[in-house]
Chains A and B, each alone.
Chain A
Amino acid sequence: MSDTHAQTVAFVRDTMIPEQVPPVTERGAVKWLRENLFNGWLSTVLTVLSLLVVAWMVLETGPWLMRSVWDAGSLSECRRIWAEAGVPAGACWGVINDRLHQLLFGFYPPHLYWRPVLALALLLVALGPILFPWVPRKLIWFSAAYPFMAYFLLWGGSIWLPVSAALGFVVAGAVLVLLRPLGTLPATLAAFLAPLLWWAVAAGPFASVMSDLLPVGIEFVRSDRFGGFLISLVIGVTGISLSLPLGILLALGRQSDMILIKSICVTFIEFIRGVPLITLLFTASLLLNYFLPPGTSFDLILRVIIMVTLFAAAYMAEVIRGGLAALPRGQYEAADALGLDYWKAQRLIIMPQALRIAIPGIVNTFIGLFKDTTLVVFIGLLDPIGLSNAIRASSDWQGIYWELFIFIGAVFFVFCFGMSRYSMYLERRLRTDHR
C-alpha cells in the first residue's frame, strides 16, 4: 500500500508542523474584546454608548466625591472648608457623622443604645438555625424565645409582660400534650382556645401580681422614641416573620374545598392586594379608633406592624398559591394514597416542595415589605426618610440632600441585596433535581 501511495504523490509529510500561535485577533485580550465588546456594528455602538454613560456618571460624581468633607458640624462649616481650599462644593459627609445615631436609632435614649444593638446581635444568633443548616439545631429554642427577648430589650419595662405572653404558648403546648388521648381535633381546638383564654383572662393579672412579688425590669422606652433604621428593622423583621405563616394559611384557605373558608380568603386577599399600602397605614392611624371599643388605644408601631403583616401576607398567599399550583397533582394523590391526613400531607409532602418552588417570590415579597417600611413616614413615624426630612429642617443642615439619600439608599441596598443573594443560595442548596 505504501508503495503505491509513494508513487501517486510526490511528497508525504511524516512529521507534524509545529503548532503556531493563533493570529493576534484570535487570542488573549484582543479576542475577548472582539467577542464581547466589538462583535458587529450594533455591539460597537452599544459599547461606545455605555462607555459614554459610565464616563458621564464618573465625571459628574467623581470630582464631587473627591472633595468630600468628613469632619464638619454643619453645612456652613463644609462650605467654609471648600471656600478656604478654593474648590467648588463637594460631598459633605459630616451630616452622617453628626447624625449617625439619629439615623440609626431615632430618638431612642442614648444611654440605652446597647439594648437595640444587643437585640440586633441576638437576632443574628436567632436567625442562624433558621437560615443555615450547619448551625446546631438546639438553637431553634433560642429562636423561639427571641421575639419576647427582643420586645423586652427594645421597649423595656417589667419582664413579666413578655414572660406572661410567652406563657400563652407554653399553655398551648401543655394542653396539646395533655389532651392528645382525646383525639387530634379536640386537642388542636383546645390548644387553639387555651392560650387565647390565658391572654384574655389570666395574663394581665399574672404579670401584675408577679411584678409586685418580684419586680424585675429595665427602663421603659416609649414607642415615639423609636426611629431611624431601628423602626424599619422592627417593622420589617416582625412583618417578615409573621407574614409567612399567615400567608401559608391564607393560601391553603384559598385552595380549600370549603366554600365559605375559600371565599373569606379570596375576599381578604383581593381586597388587600387591590388597595395601596398607604391607605391601609392611614386606616391604622386614623380609622382604627372607629373600629375598636371606645376608649381603647394601642401603640402606633404595633398597629403599623399588624397592617404591614396583613398586607404582606396577602401577597405571600398568592406567591405560595403559585408554588402549590406548580406542584404536580400526583404529589397530592400520593400523599392521600399513603393515608396521610390533611395537615400531615401538607406538612410532610406538599409544603416543603411548594415553598421551595416559591422561594424567589417569597424573598421578593420580603424585600418589598422591607422597602415598604419607608411608607410609615406618611403617618408620622420617624423612619430614615422621615429623619432625613427632620435633619434637613434643622438650621445646621438646611439644603443637604444627596449625602443623606446616598447613605439611606446604601443601607437599604445592603439589606435587600443580601436577602436576594441568600435566596439564590437557598435555591441552590435545596435544588434536588439533576446535579
Chain B
Amino acid sequence: MAVTQGEAPRESFRLSMLLYDTRYRSYTIQIFALMLLMLGAAWLIDNTLRNLQALGKDFSFAFLWNVAGYDISQRPIEYDSTMTHGRAAVVGFLNTIILAIMACVLATVVGVIAGVLRLSNNWMVARLMTVYVEVFRNIPTLLWILIFGAIMTEAMPPPSAFRGDEPTASMAFFDSVAVTNRGVYVPAPEFSRGLGALDLGGVQPSLNAIAFILVVALSIWANRRLIAHATRVQNATGVRPKTWWKSLLILFGPVILLLWALGFHLSYPELRGFNFQGGIHMRNSLIAMWLGLGIYTGAFIAENVRAGILAISKGQTEAAFSLGLQPGKTMRLVILPQALRVIIPPLISQYLNITKNTSLGLAVGYMDLRSTLGGITINQTGRELEGMMLMMLIYLLISLTISGAMNVYNSRVKLKER
C-alpha cells in the first residue's frame, strides 16, 4: 500500500464556503449583522434629522444655561428660580443621590435584620418576617410609595395638634423629633464657632464638614497603623499588646475635641406660628420615597441575606467548633466572610435597583433628576431629545459606577483556586 506523504491537497476557496464552512460562516454572519446594524442606525439618525428639521429644532444643549424659572422644594445646594436649568439638574441629581443613599442604608438595616430573623428558631418571629417579605415583595414599589405618602399626609397630626395646653400629639424622642402631616422635623447639627464655607463659585462646601471628614479619616488611618503595629509585635514576640483603649482614644478623642472646638450643638425644631421652625425639615415626599424604597427593597435584601447564610454548609460551623472556636468567633471568622461573598453581589444589584427606582419620585412630587431635568425642564424648553439623552446618560454613569465597584469587589473576594 502506498503511503501518501506530504500535505493534503489544498482546497481552493469557493464562494459557497462562506455559507457552509464553519471557519468562514461566522464572518459572513458578523458582516451581515454589521450591515444590518449600520442600516438601522442610519435609518434612525436620518429619521431623527428629518423630524428635527420638520419641527424647526436644532440639536443643542444650550438650554442648560437658560433661566429655569421653577422652584425646587428640597435644595441641598443653593438654588432659586432665577438660576439655570443646568443648576436645577444638578440639584435634582443631588436629591437623587441623597435619596438613594438614605434608602440603601435603610434597606440594608431592615433587610439584614429580617433575613437573620427569618432563620431564627423562634417560630413567631420567623413567621412574622416571612409575612413581611412576601407582602412587600409581591406588591409594586409604586403602590408602597403612594401608601407611605398617604400615611404621612393623611394619618399624621397637623402641626396645630402640637399646640395648646392639652396637645393631641407630642414630639418623639425626648421632644426632639416632630412627625407632622407637613413632614418630619429632626434636630440639625449646628456650630457656634463654625469655620464658614469655602466659596468655589456656585457650590459652597462647608468647612466644618470637611474638617470633620478629615479628622475622622485621619483617626481611622492612625487606628489602622496601631493595629498593624500590634500584629507586628505579636508576630515577633507572640504576645499581642492590649490596644482597645488606645483605639478608643484615637477613634473618638480627636472627633470630640474637634466638635467641642467648633461649638457643636443640636438645634431642635420648635413650634412657632403655624409651623415648626428650626431643625431639618424632611418633606413628606422624601419620607414616602425613603420608606417606600427602603422597606420594599429590604424585603429583597432579606432574601439575599437568608440565601447567603443558608449557602454556607453546616460542615463549616462544625469544623470551626472542632477547632475550638466560640460561637461568636465562628460567626465572625468563618461563616460571615464566606456568606458575605454570596450576599454582596446581589446586595449591590439591589442598591442599583434603589438608585433606578428613585426615578419614581414624580409620584409623590419628590424633585429628583427625573422630575427636574427629565420633567419640568423638558416641558418648559421642549428639548425632549437632548434632555432624555442627558438624563439616560447620567443614570447610565451612576449604574456603571456601582456595577464597576461590584466587579472590583467580586474579583477581590473570588475564591483563589488553582
User: Using a CB–CB distance below 8 Å, which chain A residues touch chain B?
Assistant: 35-37, 39, 43, 46-47, 50-51, 53-54, 183, 185-186, 257-261, 264, 270-271, 273-279, 282-283, 286-287, 289-294, 367, 371-372, 374-375, 377-378, 385, 401-402, 405, 408-409, 412-413, 416-417, 420
Contact = CB atoms under 8 A, between A and B. Distances in A.
A413 B139 contact: yes
B138 interface: yes
Given A264-B37, A412-B138, 18 more contacts: A50-B128, A278-B362, A278-B370, A279-B391, A282-B388, A283-B388, A287-B384, A290-B52, A291-B44, A291-B47, A294-B47, A367-B137, A371-B141, A402-B150, A405-B147, A405-B150, A409-B143, A416-B139
A18 B121 CA distance: 34
B138 A278 contact: no
B356 A276 contact: yes
A320 to B, nearest CB: 16
Contact of B399 (A46, A274, A289, A420): A274
B357 interface: yes
Given A50-B125, A258-B26, A294-B47, A282 B385 contact: no
Contact of A36 (B48, B121, B128, B135): B121
Contact of B47 (A279, A292, A409): A292
30 contacts: A35-B121, A46-B125, A47-B125, A50-B122, A50-B124, A51-B124, A183-B19, A185-B20, A260-B30, A264-B33, A271-B396, A274-B399, A274-B400, A275-B396, A276-B370, A278-B360, A282-B374, A291-B44, A293-B47, A367-B137, A371-B138, A371-B140, A372-B140, A374-B140, A374-B142, A378-B362, A402-B150, A408-B143, A412-B143, A416-B139
Going nearest first, the 6 A-B pairs with the smallest beta carbon separation are: A274-B399, A416-B138, A36-B123, A371-B140, A276-B356, A276-B359
Nearest to A51: B124
A385 B357 contact: no
A405 B143 CA distance: 7
Interface in B257-276: none
A294 B51 contact: yes
B34 interface: yes
B33 A287 contact: no
A277 B395 CA distance: 11
Contact of B140 (A37, A259, A412): A412
A265 B360 CA distance: 28
A374 B29 contact: no
Size bracket, chain B contacts: 35 or more
Contacts of B248: none
Interface of B: 19-20, 25-26, 29-30, 33-34, 37, 44, 47-48, 50-52, 54, 117, 120-125, 128, 134-135, 137-143, 146-147, 150, 154, 356-357, 359-360, 362-363, 370, 374, 378, 384-385, 388, 391-392, 395-396, 399-400, 403
Contacts of A185: 19-20, 25
B139 A401 contact: no
Contact of B359 (A43, A279, A409): A279
A374 B362 CA distance: 13
Nearest to B356: A276
Contacts of B154: 401
A289 B47 CA distance: 9
Contacts of A378: 362-363
Contacts of B19: 183, 185-186
B29 A258 contact: yes
Contacts of A264: 33, 37
Contacts of A401: 150, 154
A412 B154 CA distance: 24
B91 to A, nearest CB: 19
Nearest to B37: A264
A289 B392 CA distance: 18
B30 A258 contact: yes
A420 B138 contact: yes
Contact of A279 (B33, B138, B147, B392): B392
A286 B146 CA distance: 25
A289 B51 contact: yes
B54 A294 contact: yes
Identify the interface centre among B54, B128, B403: most chain A CB within 10 Å of its CB: B128
Nearest to B396: A274
B120 to A, nearest CB: 7
B34 A260 contact: yes
Nearest to B34: A260
Nearest to A270: B400
Contacts of A413: 135, 138-139
A172 B361 CA distance: 46
B8 to A, nearest CB: 22
A260 B143 CA distance: 42
A257 to B, nearest CB: 7
Contacts of A385: 140, 142-143, 146
A107 B323 CA distance: 70
Contacts of B140: 371-372, 374, 385, 412
Nearest to B45: A291
B10 to A, nearest CB: 25
Contact of A416 (B20, B47, B137): B137
B385 A287 contact: yes
A275 B29 CA distance: 30
B240 to A, nearest CB: 31
B285 to A, nearest CB: 15
Given A261-B33, A282-B374, A371-B139, A290 B122 contact: no
B283 to A, nearest CB: 19
A412 B47 CA distance: 40
A377 B141 CA distance: 13
Given A37-B124, A287-B384, A46 B117 contact: yes
A286 B384 contact: yes
A53 B128 CA distance: 9
Contact of A54 (B128, B356, B399): B128
Given A276-B395, A278-B370, A46 B120 contact: yes
A417 B399 CA distance: 29
A274 B124 contact: no
A273 B125 CA distance: 36
B51 to A, nearest CB: 5
Nearest to B138: A416
Contacts of B384: 286-287, 290
B51 A374 contact: no
B143 A36 contact: no
Which of B122, B147, B357, B385 is most buried by chain A, counting CB atoms within 10 A of its CB?
A: B122
Contacts of A372: 140
Contacts of A186: 19
Contacts of A43: 120-122
A52 B255 CA distance: 39
Contacts of A290: 47-48, 51-52, 384-385
Nearest to B49: A290
Nearest to A280: B392
A401 B122 CA distance: 35
A258 B47 CA distance: 30
